[in-house]
Structure 1
C-alpha cells in the first residue's frame, strides 16, 4: 500500500480513537516511513529534519498564550461578559439572545475573514480575540464547535476565492503559476469565476453548521473559565484601555513586521510597563500561557516532521500518478479521484499552499488530456489543494481555533474542531469542486 495512505490513515484513526495527536503524528510518520522504505533510522532522520519547520509557529503560540493570560488579567473578559449580560436583559428574552448571538458570530467571522486580506495576520488573532470571549459564549451557552466552524471558514474561504492578501499568494503566485508551469496558459482566466462554486460549497457547510448542526445550546463550566482568568480580575477603565492598546500594538506589530513572536512580546510588554501585569508576576503569567498553548505548539512541530517524512518517501507523486492511471478517460471519475487524492495529501501535510505544487505537475497534463477546460482545470487543482486544510489535525486552520477555544480545557481538538470542520467543509467542498470541474 502507498506510504502516504498508510501514514495519513494511521494518524487519523489513532486521533479519532482519542490517542494524543502528537503521538498519532509520530506513529503515523513511523508507519509511513517504514512502508515507504526509509527504514527506522531514515524515518527518524526525516522527521527530525522537518520539525524545525514548526518551531517558529510553536514559539509564537507560546508567547501568544502568555499574552492571552495577560488580557485575562486585565479584566477585559469579565467586562465583555458583563456587557453581554446587560444586553441580554434580566429576562433573557429569546429574540434578544438571538440578536446578540448572531452579532458575536458575525464579528468573529468578519475578523477571521479580514485576517486573510485586510489585516493579513492569519491565525495570530485567535489567541488574542477568542479567550476573552469564552465567558461571554458560556453565558449564552453558545456551542464552541460552531465557533470552530466559523473561524475555519474565515481562515480558508477567503484565500481560496479572493485574490487579495493570502488569497493573492495562493491563487496567483501558487495556483495559476504552477498550472502555467505545467503547460496550460492561464492568461485571461478569472480565478474568482473558477473558484466561485467551491467557495459556495464552503458557504453551504457554514450555513448548515449555523442553522442546523450547532444551533442548540451547550453548557460549559464557568468556574473553569474563571480559573483560567486567575479567579476574576479587577475591572477598571484604565485597565480596559491598556488591554485594548496592548491588543492594538500586538496586531500592528505583527502586521508590519510579519512576526507573531515580536507582536506578542511587545503586547505583553505594554501590559508590564502599564502596571496591569506587575514585573514580579510576568514570569508566572508567561509560564501559564506557555502551558496553555504547549499542546498546540507540539502538534505544530510534530506535524512539520510528519509532512517531511511523507515527502521523503517519494510516494506522494506515485499516489497522484496511480490515481491518474486509474481513470481510463472518464472525466467525472478523474475529477473525483483527483479531489480525493488532494484531500488525502493535504490532510497529511496540513497545508494547501504546499499541496498545489505537488499535484499540479500530474493533474494539469492529465486534465488537459481528458478535455477539461482551462477554467475547470483551475477549479479542479485549486479545490484539490484546498481540500483537507479544514478537517486536518495538523492544519493551522484547525489548530488555530483549538488554541483559542481550549484555553480552559473544555474543547477537544479532534472531536470539537477537526471532525466538525471536516464534515461541514471538506464534504461540501468535495461535492462543489466536482461540480465545478464537470460543468465549467
Structure 2
C-alpha cells in the first residue's frame, strides 16, 4: 500500500479525480502539480518554478497549434471547405455503409490535407440531416464515422495534426531517455489504428446497421438556413452554379495554394511551424486575405486552438514537476518489483492509467507529456522496445479523445448531429465511440507492446 503514497501516484489520482469531476483541465493540472511537488519534498516555490521552467518543453507544439488554428480560420473565412465538401458529397451516394465510410474519409482530410479540425462539421452535417433521416441512418453510426476521421489520421499519419501528435510522442520519449525518430511512430501506432478500423467496420456494418427513425428530421434552429434540405436537394452540388457563394474566386485559389505549400513544407522540413507560417504568408501575399485582417484572423486562431496549446504547455510543466520530485524512479522500482517480469500485466496497467488520466482531461495531445514521464522509465525497466513504448503512450493518450465528454472529437460530431435536438451527446456520441474505438485502442496498445 505504500506505493499509493508515492507522489506520482497521489498526483495522478488527484488529476484523474479532478478531471472526472469536470474541473477545468488547466486548474486540475496545476493542483496535481502542487500535490506532486509537496508530497515529493519540494517547497511550493520550487514546485512552481520547476513547473514554469518546464513550460518550454512543448513551446514549439503550442506555437504549431496557434499557427494551424490561424490557417484553419483562413480556410473557414474563404468558404473553401464548403466548396470542397459540396463537390465531394455527390461521390458518396450509394449503399448506406459506403456513405458512412465516405463520411469517415472526408473527416480524415480535416486532420492533414485541409487541417480545419472540427470546423467542417457545422458545414457538412446539418444540411444533410434531412437526407440522413429520410434514409433512416442511425446517427450513432455517423458520430462514430466522424470521430474515426478526427482521431485515426493524427495517430497514424505524420502530417497536419499528426505531425504535432507524433512529434510530441517522439520528443517526450527522447526527453525521458528513449531515442525514437518521428518516422518510427507511425509503425508503433499501426496495430492500435488497425483496431480502430475494425471498430469502425463493426459500428457501421453490425452495431448500427439497422434503420432508425427520427421524429422531426433535419429541422431545427441550429441547423442553419439549409438544414431543411438534404444533399439530394442541391441543384448542382458539383458546380455550385445556382449559389454564387459557392463559386470559386481568387481568394479560394490563394487559400488552396497556401494549403498546398503547408503540406509540401511539412514533408520537406518536418516542422509544422515552418509549414503553417509559410502557408499563412502565401495566403496574405496572394491576396486571399488582406494584411489589415491579420489581427482578427490571428485572434480567432488563438481562440480556436489556444486552449489546447496552453494545456500542452502546462502538461509539460506538470511532467517536469513529476520528474523533479524523484518519485518516478521510486514508483518504477516498486512497480517493477510488484509486476515482476510480466510485460502483459505492465502493459495492461499502463493502459488503465491512460484511461483514467486521458478520459478526464479529454485531450490526447495534452496528456502525452504526463504519460511519458511515468511510462518511459517503467517501460525501460521492463525491457519494452522504443516502438512498444511509443505504442503504449500513443494508444493510452489516444483514448482521451474518443468517448470523453470533454473531447473535441466527441463535441464536434454532437454539435452537427444535434442541430435539431435529436442527438444525445453522452449516449449517442460518447458511448458509441468509447465502445468502438477505446476498447480496440486498449487492446491494440497492449498487443503492440508485446509484439513490437
Q: TM-score if structure 1 supplies the norm length?
A: 0.67
- Provide the C-alpha distance between the structure 2 equivalents of 1:69 and 1:274, rounded to a whole number of angstroms: 16
Specify the alignment match of 1:135 in structure 2: 123
Q: Hey, what's the Cα distance between the residues in 2 that align with 1:27 and 1:169?
A: 23
**322-331 or 30-39, larger mean C-alpha shift:** 322-331
Residue 398 (structure 2) pairs with residue 390 (structure 1): yes
Contact 1:54-1:304 at 8 Å conserved across structures: yes
Task: Provide the residue aligned with 2:182 in structure 1.
Answer: none
Distance in 1 separating the partners of 2:102 and 2:312: 32
How many Å apart are 1:305 and its aligned residue?
1.0
Q: Could you tell me how far apart the structure 1 residues matched to 2:125 and 2:429 are?
A: 16
Cα-to-partner distance string for 1:386-428 (whole Å, 9 max, x where unaligned):
44121347xxxx98868988999x99xx989998876654543
Rounded to whole Å, the distance in 2 between the matches of 1:108 and 1:148 is: 8
For the pair 1:104 / 2:92, whether they are aligned, the reply is no
Between the aligned partners of 2:41 and 2:429, the Cα distance in structure 1 is 33
State the distance in 1 between where 2:347 and 2:101 align: 37
Q: Equivalences for 1:52-63 in 2 at 5 Å?
A: 52-63=56-67
How far apart in 2 are the matches of 1:62 and 1:192? 24
Task: Choose the corresponding residue for 1:17, options 21, 28, 38.
Answer: 21
Structure 1 regions of 5+ residues with no counterpart?
A: 113-122, 160-165, 181-190, 227-231, 368-376
Separation in 2, partners of 1:194, 1:266: 30
Matched, 1:4 2:24: no
Distance 1:38 1:421, change over 3 A: farther
1:278 Cα offset (Å): 1.8
Counterpart position of 2:338: 326
Question: Contact 1:76/1:132 (CA < 8 Å) preserved in 2?
Answer: no
Q: For the Cα contact (< 8 Å) 1:359–1:381, is it kept in 2?
A: no
CA contact (8 A) 2:83 2:246 kept: no
- Structure 1 distance, partners of 2:264, 2:251, is 20
Offset of residue 247 of structure 1: 0.6
- 3-state DSSP of counterpart to 2:304: helix
2:192, 2:395 within 8 Å by CA — same for their partners in 1?
no
Structure 2 CA distance for aligned equivalents of residues 439 and 129 of structure 1? 32
- Structure 1: distance between partners of 2:29 and 2:431: 17
Mark the CA change 1:205 to 1:45 in structure 2 (over 3 Å): closer, same or farther. Answer: farther
The one of 261, 265, 273 equivalent to 1:253 is 265
Please report the TM-score for the alignment, with normalisation by the length of structure 2: 0.66
Question: CA-to-partner distance for each residue in 1:12-48, whole Å, 9 max, x for gaps?
Answer: 3322322222112112222222222223122111211
Unaligned runs of 5+ in 2: 130-138, 159-164, 180-184, 228-243, 359-363, 420-424
Q: 1:81-92 counterparts in 2 under 5 A?
A: 81-83=85-87
Deviation at 1:65, TM superposition (A): 1.7
Name the CA distance, whole Å, in 2 between partners of 1:295 and 1:195: 26
Q: 1:80 to 1:168 in 2, by over 3 A?
A: closer
Report matched runs for 1:281-320 at 5 Å: 281-320=293-332
Quickly say closer, same or farther: Cα 1:293–1:436, change in 2 above 3 A: closer
Measured after TM superposition, the shift of residue 302 of structure 1 is 1.1
In structure 2, how many angstroms separate the alpha carbons of the residues matched to 1:199 and 1:57? 23
Does structure 1 conserve the Cα–Cα contact (< 8 Å) formed by 2:34 and 2:47?
yes
Match of 1:116 in 2: none
Q: Please state if 1:32 is matched with 2:40.
A: no
1:83-118 Cα shifts (integer Å, max 9, x gaps): 356567xxxx8x467544422312444x58xxxxxx
Give the paired residue count: 387
